[in-house]
Amino acid sequence: MLCPGAESVEEGTKITIPYPCDFHHHFRQGPAISSTVPVASERFGTALAMPNTKPPITTVPLALKYHEELMAARGGGDMDIVNVLYLTDNTKVETVDEMAKHDFIVGFKYYPAGATTNSDAGVTDFRKCYDVFKRVEELGMVLCIHSEVSDADIDIFDREKVFIDRVIKVIVSDFPNLKIVMEHISTSFGVDFINSLPPTSRVVGSITPHHIMYNRNALLVGGVKPHFYCLPILKRESHRVSLLSAATSRSGRFIMGTDSAPHTVESKESACGCAGVFNGHCAVEMYVEAFEGAGRMDALEDFVEAGKKFYGIEDGGRKMELVKETWEVPGTMEFGENKVKPLRAGEKMLWKIVR
Ligand SMILES: O=C1C[C@@H](C(=O)O)NC(=O)N1
């Protein structure tokens, strides 16, 4: 898929990019991590592990245990893993101080209660967390936000816009120095909001490969395609275009976050299918393909670096080499004792990681 005027890069062309880091990854738990961690480790220098496990990672001891398990699951890989704690209405300020003693804990994940997978223990009213926000701001830690309301009367396609108007604007105004990631932004409203903030603002937006490559037709045209169902839900084409132009804008305000979110084949292909797209096996390659399609390969470096700068990740200038060469994504992949259907299953990828 090439934008008008964009030239396709020739087969066999090699490119070198700063080593990518994924600032939003669902590794899951138990036997599943022996599948998800090694796959991510082939692509990312650092990955930020999401805490919406069962039970959720709400305390420092739980984070220590989860971090240890994930690190052990790397096998021979050398990916670093950082964690966030799952924020609840009852999270204590003392927990923030305890978190700050561990370098691998970078902040909190704020799930509005009921917004997505395993978010029931999430936040019911953001004002209940003001003491915690204040301490996170003081300590320079990060608040990652699933930026959608979950109110039953709000249309699923409007959840992000309403969250911006009712929640994010208030938090940003009350905590102007708080480091915030609006995660997996999915609309031009998210892009415009972030771009509207002053240069002193410490708010960035993460963008997934699926939200810059697909619109809601992928999910709904020709029959329901459950493997494209994720939250935030894919939106109309104009939003996809806006996200792609944000990712390629070189503004430093948009960062890589794949939201790779595997579920078993059975739990996706169901009368009530789970939300989540598994892209951990091809996310970097998809970003490159999207940037190529937009004719903006020149902006890849800035996009990769923006997240590392925001999170303060130092990797000594490590690089990744990719080649324009096709390979086929398998129909299914191992997912612990189960199988997951990967994004682009059975399709050709256009870029391959060399090293
Ligand atoms: O925010 C999320 C959570 C994720 C999951 O399955 O954990 N799946 C999604 O589609 N969005």
The 3-class secondary structure across the chain, one letter per residue, is: CCCCCCCCCCCCCEEEEECCCEEEECCCCHHHHHHHHHHHHCCCCEEEECCCCCCCCCCHHHHHHHHHHHHHCCCCCCCEEEEEEECCCCCCHHHHHHHCCCCCEEEEEECECCCCCCCCCCECCHHHHHHHHHHHHHHCCEEEECCCCCCCCCCHHHHHHHHHHHHHHHHHHHCCCCEEEECCCCCHHHHHHHHHCCCCCCEEEEECHHHHHCCCHHHHCCCCCHHHCCCCCCCCHHHHHHHHHHHCCCCCCEEECCCECCCCHHHHCCCCCCCCECCCCCHHHHHHHHHHHCCCHHHHHHHHHHHHHHHCCCCCCCEEEEEEEEEECCCCEEECCEEECCCCCCCEEEEEECC
Ligand 1 within 6 A of CB of 219: no
pTM value surpassing 0.95: yes
Residue 3 lies in a domain: no
Q: Is residue 62 part of a domain?
A: yes
The answer to whether position 9 is within a domain reads no
Nearest-atom number in ligand 1 for the CA of 184 is 1
CATH number for position 192: 3.20.20.140
- Give the model's pLDDT for residue 75: 83
Residue type, 250: R
| Ligand 1 atom nearest residue 52's Cα | 7
Residue 183 has pLDDT above 90, yes or no: yes
Query: Has residue 8 been placed in a domain?
Result: no
Reported ipTM: the value is 0.98
Decide whether any atom of ligand 1 lies within 6 Å of the 231 Cβ: yes
Residue 257 Cβ < 6 Å to ligand 1: no
Assess if residue 6 is contained within a domain. no
Residue 7's pLDDT is what?
Answer: 67
**Catalytic-role residue among 125, 259, 298, 302:** 259
**pLDDT of residue 5 exceeding 60:** no
144 Cβ closer than 6 Å to some ligand 1 atom: no
Tell me, yes or no, whether 5 lies in a domain.
no
Q: Give pLDDT, residue 344.
A: 98
Domain that includes residue 158, residue range: 14-353
Ligand 1 pocket test target in 149, 207, 228, 230 with most atoms within 8 Å of CB = 230
201: how many CB neighbours lie within 10 A of its CB?
16
Residues in the chain: 355
Separation between Cα atoms, residue 96 and residue 104, nearest integer Å: 13
Residue 2 falls inside a structural domain: no
CA 232–ligand 1 middle distance (angstroms): 8
Nearest CA residue ID for atom 7, ligand 1: 117
Report if residue 1 sits inside a domain: no
- 155 given a catalytic annotation: no
Whether the ω angle into residue 55 lies within 30 degrees of 0, i.e. cis, is yes
Which region, left, alpha or beta, applies to residue 12 given φ > 0 means left and ψ of -120 to 50 means alpha? Answer: left
Residue 205's nearest CA partner among 165, 236, 160 is: 160
Q: What is the mean pLDDT of the chain?
A: 97
Count of the separate structural domains present in the chain: 1
CA 10 to ligand 1 centroid distance, Å: 35
Residue corresponding to tokens 């996809």: 240
pLDDT in the model for residue 77: 86
The 10s digit of each residue's pLDDT in 118-162 is 999 999 999 999 999 999 999 999 999 999 999 999 999 999 999
104-119: per-residue pLDDT in tens?
A: 999 999 999 999 999 9
Task: Give the pLDDT band (50/70/90) at residue 20.
Answer: very high
Burial of residue 13 (CB within 10 Å: 0-12, 13-18, 19+) is middle
Per-residue pLDDT at 244 exceeds 80: yes
User: Does any ligand 1 atom lie closer than 6 A to the CB of residue 117?
Assistant: yes
pLDDT tens, position by position, 53-88: 999 999 999 999 999 999 999 988 899 999 999 999
Q: How far is the CA of 117 from the centre of ligand 1 (A)?
A: 5
Choose which residue among 50, 54, 116, 279 to substitute to test ligand 1 binding: the one with the highest number of ligand atoms within 8 A of its C-beta.
116
